[in-house]
Structure 1
């Protein structure tokens, strides 16, 4: 399967897009991304491509979210 590369104009745009994608997974699999990632990290899910992608998107979301939060703290 060929992966699509998407570029965003800002970190905020990227966080929003990732949150929307995470929401799609959460609705489809009826669990939060946090719960999924805990199960994934414990080896309680398969390594299907969709789960690997979900885990990667969640990690990316967390990193961007944390980075934006620290930027906001610096401004305040």
Structure 2
């Protein structure tokens, strides 16, 4: 499978795209991403390609969300 690299102008744009991608997985597997990741991390789910990608996307989502939260906190501290 050939992967496509997509660049976003802002972290918020990337976060929105990731949320849409995560929702696709959640609908397909009838499971929230948080629940999936917990089970996947505990080795309760297989390492098939969909799950590997879902896991990576969820980790990327968490990292961007944390970065945006940090930036918001910094703005609140300045104000």
TM-score of the aligned structures, taking structure 1 as reference length = 0.98
Q: Which runs of structure 1 show a deviation greater than 3 angstroms over 4 or more consecutive aligned residues?
A: none
The match for 1:25 is 25
Q: Deviations over 1:15-66 (max 9, x none)?
A: 0000010001001100100000001001111100110000000000000000
The yes-or-no answer on 1:51 pairing with 2:51 is yes
**Cα distance, 1:4 vs. partner?**
0.7
Aligned-pair RMSD on alpha carbons? 0.4
TM-score of the aligned structures, taking structure 2 as reference length = 0.94
Listed as ranges, the matches of 1:1-76 within 5 Å are: 1-76=1-76
Gaps of 5+ in 1: none
Distance 2:42 2:2 in 1: 28
Larger radius of gyration: 2
